Structure 1
Amino acid sequence: MKQAGWGFSSGTFGELVQGVIDETPFLVTIPIRWGTRAKFIPGENQDVVVYPRHRKKAQIAATLACRALKKPGGTLSISSVIPIGKGMASSSADIVASIRAVAAAYGRTLLPSMIARIAAQIEPSDGVMYPQMVAFEPVKGILLEKWPRAPHAVIVGLIGHGRVNTALHHQSRKPYSPAQQTRLAQALRMAREAAYAHDVGGLGKAGLISAEVQWERNPHDQILAQVIEQAHQHGWGVVTAHSGTARGYLFAPHDFRSGAIAQAERFLRSLHNGPVFRFWTLTRSMATQGQFSVALEDSQGQEDRHEA
């Protein structure tokens, strides 16, 4: 028998607020219950083999984690329900879960700040190594502000067609005007106050401001334009992926009684731009890593089974 490790990371539904203020890029996370689980079985050499093979960022993350811990590589497997390229932190969740799995396999627990530093070496990160809402600098992987856990809320979300490459998006991003930065600073203040007050409505209003700035910068996004129009018409809060195709509305649980949630679902489905789901915010602590035992012959036969 040998010790192996597993790691978990939640995703996010886009970013509540995102932009640049005084030349500092930032985003505000809103963690959801969808996530990624990674398993890591230590090997004898320095290489990390990953399954499925296209999860290359997870492979790099596990390799960097092994080097940071001065340990050999091994076999990494990824299982995720987060769709790729939609702005829901699929890559960041893969990376964070993989680092946690490696650390767990070797009996270690890495601080979120260290995980963030490793993640930043691979691509701009979504801050999902922190379980609560945070204001996060995605390019350098720096925590700007730590807020409380997300309030109990439901996001009625459209996972739109197409994919967005996060790294390329950050490289090609247009500068924000002074007026846009002023509005984003207002949205950041509103979001901060609402987070500490557990005010779902306030969070949604902050998200709407950020979505409006995003649409100003990309007026060809007709789906986002319609989402914003309906938000103003019905007084709905908005949360959207600023570098992705996910678009949605943020509601408190009591909004089920008013029929607003069902109405928002009908509207998003009428856009015919992809599936619509309900996403619940991650409001409580949960285990994010641990160890398990594998038989030696099982670990040696991993590649055969994955390839079968």
Structure 2
Amino acid sequence: MTTGCRPAAAPPGADAPRVGAGYAACHHGEILQGVFRDAHGHGRVAGLVTLPMPGLGTHAEFVRSPGAAPEELWVTPAGRTKALSAASLAVRECAARRREAACGGRLRLSGDIPVGLGMGSSSSDVIAAVRAVADSFGLRLSPRTIARLAVRAEQASDPLMLDGRPMLFAQREGRVLEVLGDALPAAVVVGCAVGGGRPVDTLSLPAPDHDDEDVRAYERLRALLRRAVAEGDPALLGQVATESARRAQQRLGHDEFGPLTEIAARTGAVGVQIAHSGSVAGLLFDPAARRLRRRLRCCADALEDQGIPVTKIFTTFTTSEEFPHGRAHSGVDRPAGPRQTGGRPAVPAL
């Protein structure tokens, strides 16, 4: 198995290559991340709730070469070793289900997710690769199976294989701890980049050391987020995001956290959200707030004045758009979330 772009040669008489396609979206960091009690109320497990972000993702194409050795796997661009590992695992999984021999092939990835900013670029690569391999076998793997393969491929995975509902997800175990509801409360997010937009080396950060008080605090935030989702309350959503980001500063230490919270208070944002393993951040606004466009413009201007570049303005609104996961993944509806009755704010991406 290699990361080069030279195609694997199939032996004479081998079947024709079979092509599959896959897609996975990204996210904008976390609304909540910490350590929680497991389903039985005892023990600790790391978990997170991500903030979905529309419009960016990874497309994958896998050209399967029946008859080629399973080790003859190639990926383009070179260096995407996690996605290649996921493709290898997915080939063996799908071949076993089809009662076929595992084989080699070529994986090609394309997309527009910035790398190293905490937006789930590696998870997106991995999940798109698994879906493309499955599609080349004419299969559609369940989210649970994709999560299992993703964790094996990259040790921890974001929950991008799920259906878009807000879920507390154990990223190192690949399992859902709790489905919090149907959709996050509607909010408008002014996205920005802290730390100069430089990638964060999470391996260089001190390992989190959570005690019982931390678990109790995160469980309170979990309950508050559950209530925010049930009531569709963006203010509670912002409260959870801000407190989670504040607690993460003990490890991340972003210089911009103070200015972000000050700008949020001055412009009427309901909260501040920061990726716990990257440099993307966002200020959350209630879409029903008075003079919303003016608030958003004032927020963007204030961020720029502080030297914090604005990246994109987007919403948490979920649509019924179908994402292309290849032939075996077509016709999959995404649940429709709450819509703003007055329409989305006509704010341009910056």
Q: TM-score, normalised by structure 1?
A: 0.85
- Equivalent residue number for residue 39 of structure 1: 61
- Equivalent residue number for residue 52 of structure 1: 77
In the alignment, the residues of structure 1 paired with residue 231 and residue 30 of structure 2 have an alpha-carbon distance, to the nearest angstrom, of 19
- Equivalent residue number for residue 334 of structure 2: none
In the alignment, the residues of structure 2 paired with residue 104 and residue 32 of structure 1 have an alpha-carbon distance, to the nearest angstrom, of 25
1:288 Cα deviation from its structure 2 partner? 4.2
Larger displacement relative to structure 2 (111-120 or 55-64): 55-64
* Runs of 5+ unmatched residues, structure 1: 293-308
Tell me which amino acid in the other structure corresponds to 1:125. Answer: S
1:194-253, Cα deviation, whole Å (9 max, x unpaired): 1233322221111011011112344x4211232233334444322210111111112243
1:57 Cα deviation from its structure 2 partner? 1.3
Q: Identify which of 284, 296, 303 aligns with 1:268.
A: 303
- Equivalent residue number for residue 298 of structure 1: none
Does structure 2 retain, via aligned residues, the 8 Å contact 1:37–1:80? yes
Matched, 1:16 2:31: yes
* Runs of 5+ unmatched residues, structure 2: 1-15, 38-43, 96-101, 329-350
Does structure 2 retain, via aligned residues, the 8 Å contact 1:85–1:164? yes
**1:13 is paired with a residue of what secondary structure?**
strand
In the alignment, the residues of structure 1 paired with residue 105 and residue 221 of structure 2 have an alpha-carbon distance, to the nearest angstrom, of 44
Tell me which amino acid in the other structure corresponds to 2:53. Answer: I
Matched, 1:61 2:86: yes
- Equivalent residue number for residue 126 of structure 1: 158
Bigger Rg over Cα: 2
Tell me which amino acid in the other structure corresponds to 1:289. Answer: H
In the alignment, the residues of structure 2 paired with residue 18 and residue 158 of structure 1 have an alpha-carbon distance, to the nearest angstrom, of 19
In the alignment, the residues of structure 2 paired with residue 262 and residue 123 of structure 1 have an alpha-carbon distance, to the nearest angstrom, of 40
- Equivalent residue number for residue 113 of structure 1: 144
Label 1:57 to 1:250 Cα distance change in 2 as closer, same or farther (>3 A).
same
1:99 Cα deviation from its structure 2 partner? 0.6
Tell me which amino acid in the other structure corresponds to 2:177. Answer: L
1:42 Cα deviation from its structure 2 partner? 1.0
1:8 Cα deviation from its structure 2 partner? 1.1
**1:195 is paired with a residue of what secondary structure?**
helix
Q: Where in structure 2 are the equivalents of 1:158-307 lying within 5 Å? A: 158-160=192-194, 161-166=197-202, 168=203, 172-218=206-252, 220-233=253-266, 234-255=268-289, 257-258=291-292, 259-281=294-316, 283-285=318-320, 286-291=322-327
1:2 Cα deviation from its structure 2 partner? 5.4
More helix by share: 1
1:29 Cα deviation from its structure 2 partner? 1.8
Does structure 1 retain, via aligned residues, the 8 Å contact 2:58–2:128? yes
Label 1:216 to 1:76 Cα distance change in 2 as closer, same or farther (>3 A).
same
In the alignment, the residues of structure 1 paired with residue 327 and residue 301 of structure 2 have an alpha-carbon distance, to the nearest angstrom, of 44
Tell me which amino acid in the other structure corresponds to 1:209. Answer: E
Tell me which amino acid in the other structure corresponds to 1:99. Answer: V
1:7-31, Cα deviation, whole Å (9 max, x unpaired): 1111111010001134211101221
Matched, 1:104 2:135: yes
- Equivalent residue number for residue 6 of structure 1: 21
Label 1:230 to 1:177 Cα distance change in 2 as closer, same or farther (>3 A).
farther
Tell me which amino acid in the other structure corresponds to 1:37. Answer: H
Matched, 1:73 2:98: no
In the alignment, the residues of structure 2 paired with residue 55 and residue 153 of structure 1 have an alpha-carbon distance, to the nearest angstrom, of 34
In the alignment, the residues of structure 2 paired with residue 256 and residue 75 of structure 1 have an alpha-carbon distance, to the nearest angstrom, of 52
Label 1:130 to 1:169 Cα distance change in 2 as closer, same or farther (>3 A).
farther
Label 1:53 to 1:217 Cα distance change in 2 as closer, same or farther (>3 A).
closer
Cα-Cα RMSD: 2.3
In the alignment, the residues of structure 1 paired with residue 224 and residue 47 of structure 2 have an alpha-carbon distance, to the nearest angstrom, of 15
In the alignment, the residues of structure 2 paired with residue 255 and residue 41 of structure 1 have an alpha-carbon distance, to the nearest angstrom, of 49
Larger displacement relative to structure 2 (250-259 or 182-191): 250-259
- Equivalent residue number for residue 344 of structure 2: none
In the alignment, the residues of structure 2 paired with residue 130 and residue 169 of structure 1 have an alpha-carbon distance, to the nearest angstrom, of 29
1:274 Cα deviation from its structure 2 partner? 4.2
- Equivalent residue number for residue 296 of structure 1: none
Q: TM-score, normalised by structure 2?
A: 0.76
